[in-house]
Amino acid sequence: MDLTRESIKALRRRLGLTQPQFAARIGCTAQAVSYWERGARTPTGLYAQAIRRLMAETAALTSVPPDESRPVPPSHR
């Protein structure tokens, strides 16, 4: 998974997090998240691993088949 400024920002927004909240989730500063989202720097090391893990978790959650993602109302069984 490429860690582009667009992919990092899209992930953060998909999770519904602010930059400080996203930073806390992966263990960095909000300033670092801002740099990454502007393309001024690229995450490396443990930060890159944490972002990739979140991307994988998010992808897994959004790939649930539609019939398993929400309960079927009793009237439709």
Domain presence at residue 30: yes
Question: Can you give the CATH number for the domain in which 49 is found?
Answer: 1.10.260.40
Averaged over 24-45, what is the pLDDT? 97
Q: Give the pLDDT confidence score for residue 5 in this predicted structure.
A: 97
Please tell me the total count of domains within the chain.
Answer: 1
Tokens encoding 2: 């490429």
Domain assignment present for 73: no
pLDDT above 50 for 11: yes
Lowest-pLDDT range of 9-18, 32-41, 49-58, 60-69: 60-69
74: in domain: no
Is residue 65 assigned to a domain? no
Task: Answer yes or no: is 67 within a domain.
Answer: no
**Longest Cα–Cα distance in the chain:** 54
* Residue where the block lists tokens 């670092």: 32
| pTM: predicted TM-score of the whole model, two decimal places | 0.77
Q: Which domain holds residue 51?
A: 5-60
Q: Are 22 and 15 in contact (CB under 8 A)?
A: yes
How do residues 35-53 score in pLDDT, each as one tens digit? 999 999 999 999 999 999 9
Residue 71 lies in a domain: no
Task: Please check the confidence at residue 75 and state whether its pLDDT lies above 70.
Answer: no
